[in-house]
Amino acid sequence: MTTFEQTFEETPLAQVHELAASRLADGWRYVQILAVNTENGIDLVYSYMKDGLLANFNVAGVQKGDTVPSITDLYLEAFVCENEIHDLFDVDISNIAIDFGGMFYQLAEKAPMTVVSPEQLAAREKAKKIAAAKAAKEAAAKAEAAPALATGPTEEEIQAKIAGLDPEKAAKVRAAMEAKAKKAAAATPAAPAEPAKTGLTEEEIQAKVACLDPEKAAKVRAALEAKAKKAAEGKGE
């Protein structure tokens, strides 16, 4: 008894005709096209043989509305399987060399091989609902985990970074920031005038002190503390 080996590979629908052409060019013999009704559509298995090797190529999940190219211009004998698959599974196969136009079989009902039992139909519907719920849950989890759109560093974060620079670099950064703010202010309508400030805020003072070397910063802080103490004593009198 002659033995042979066989292989199975997945192939996309778009490469069905190209695959047949390459098999023919390499001297392979056409064997059959097998159709299988699955949960995801119709699977088509194209089989070719050469030197004791049966090579099977599976086109998975052909849907209603998909058009499968005929290979009968390369392997005329494939017209039998292609007409059969059209009639029994309602698969649209274009340009069959010998096309029976849906009359290859005299059928009581259209595409009888796609009919499923009520139990199978219920199982399919349940599986679809579970898959849809899972997809929705995964999408919600991804949306929740996605980081919020960055709006840029806060003023406090900017000042903290500037404070870590040497005085010369800090001065350049502040000058650039002031120029940018001035340009932005010139581009926007003028807001109602606010009362003039009577002095620096505590945050502004601390930001300036942070840029000084430690010795100068200590002297400035001491002066500020003395001034604050004096002001407090004056209020108490």
What's the confidence (pLDDT) of residue 70?
A: 98
Q: Among 24, 15, 21, 32, which Cα is nearest to 81's?
A: 32
Q: What angle do CA 79, 85, 88 make, to 5 degrees?
A: 135
**In angstroms, what CA-CA distances link 217 with 132, 155, 161, 214?**
63, 21, 17, 5
pLDDT at 152: 60
Query: Per-residue confidence of the chain (237 residues) as pLDDT tens digits?
Result: 568 899 999 999 999 999 999 999 999 999 999 999 998 899 999 999 999 999 999 999 999 999 999 999 999 999 999 999 999 999 999 999 999 998 998 887 888 888 766 666 677 678 778 988 999 989 888 888 876 554 566 677 777 777 777 777 777 778 888 888 888 877 766 555 555 555 667 777 777 767 777 777 777 778 888 887 787 777 665
Q: Is the pTM of this model over 0.85?
A: no
How far is the C-alpha of 137 from the C-alpha of 115, rounded, in Å?
32
pLDDT for 3: 81
User: Can you name the residues that pair with 93 across neighbouring β-strands?
Assistant: 68
pLDDT at position 169:
77
Q: What is the pLDDT of residue 156?
A: 73
How high is the pLDDT of residue 191? 54
Contact between 212 and 220 (Cβ < 8 Å): yes
Which of 217, 215, 212, 205 is CA-nearest to residue 166? 212
- Specify the pLDDT at position 192: 55
* Residue in 170, 148, 166, 146 with CA at minimum distance from that of residue 158: 170
Determine contact, residues 89/113, Cβ cutoff 8 Å.
yes
